[in-house]
Amino acid sequence: MTSPWLRLLRLPNLLTLPGDPIAGALLSGILLVPAPDPVATLRLFAAIAASACLYAAGLLFNDLADAAIDARERPERPIPSGAVSPAAVGLAGVLLLLLGLLLAIPAHALPVAAILALAILLYDFAAKKSAILGPLVMGLCRSLDLLLGAGPAARTPEPLAAAALLGLYIAVVTALARREADPRSRITPAHIGLLLRLLLPLQTLLCLCAFLLPAPPPLQPAFSLSLLPLLLYPVNRLLARRYPPS
Rounded to a whole number of angstroms, the CA Rg of the chain reads: 18
- Residue 110: its pLDDT value, please? 97
Total tally of structural domains belonging to the chain = 1
**Quick one: CA dihedral 40, 44, 49, 55, positive or negative?**
positive
* Spatial contact of 229 and 19, defined as CB atoms under 8 Å apart: yes
- Residue 1: its pLDDT value, please? 45
Looking at the domain assignment, is residue 4 inside a domain? no
Residue 88, Cβ density class (10 Å: 0-12 exposed, 13-18 middle, ≥19 buried): middle
Looking at the domain assignment, is residue 214 inside a domain? yes
- Residue 217: its pLDDT value, please? 56
Looking at the domain assignment, is residue 246 inside a domain? no
**Quick one: CA dihedral 17, 21, 24, 27, positive or negative?**
negative
Rounded to whole angstroms, the Cα distance separating 196 from 169 reads: 10
- Residue 224: its pLDDT value, please? 81
Looking at the domain assignment, is residue 9 inside a domain? no
- Residue 183: its pLDDT value, please? 63
Looking at the domain assignment, is residue 6 inside a domain? no
Looking at the domain assignment, is residue 94 inside a domain? yes
- Residue 188: its pLDDT value, please? 79
Looking at the domain assignment, is residue 157 inside a domain? yes
Taking the whole predicted model, whether its pTM rises above 0.75 is answered as yes
**Quick one: CA dihedral 73, 179, 188, 176, positive or negative?**
negative
Mean pLDDT by 10 residues, the chain (246 residues): 81 91 91 73 95 97 93 90 95 98 97 98 96 96 97 93 97 88 72 89 93 65 84 86 67
Question: Integer distance in angstroms from the first to the last C-alpha of the chain?
Answer: 19
Tell me which residue range forms the domain holding 112.
14-240
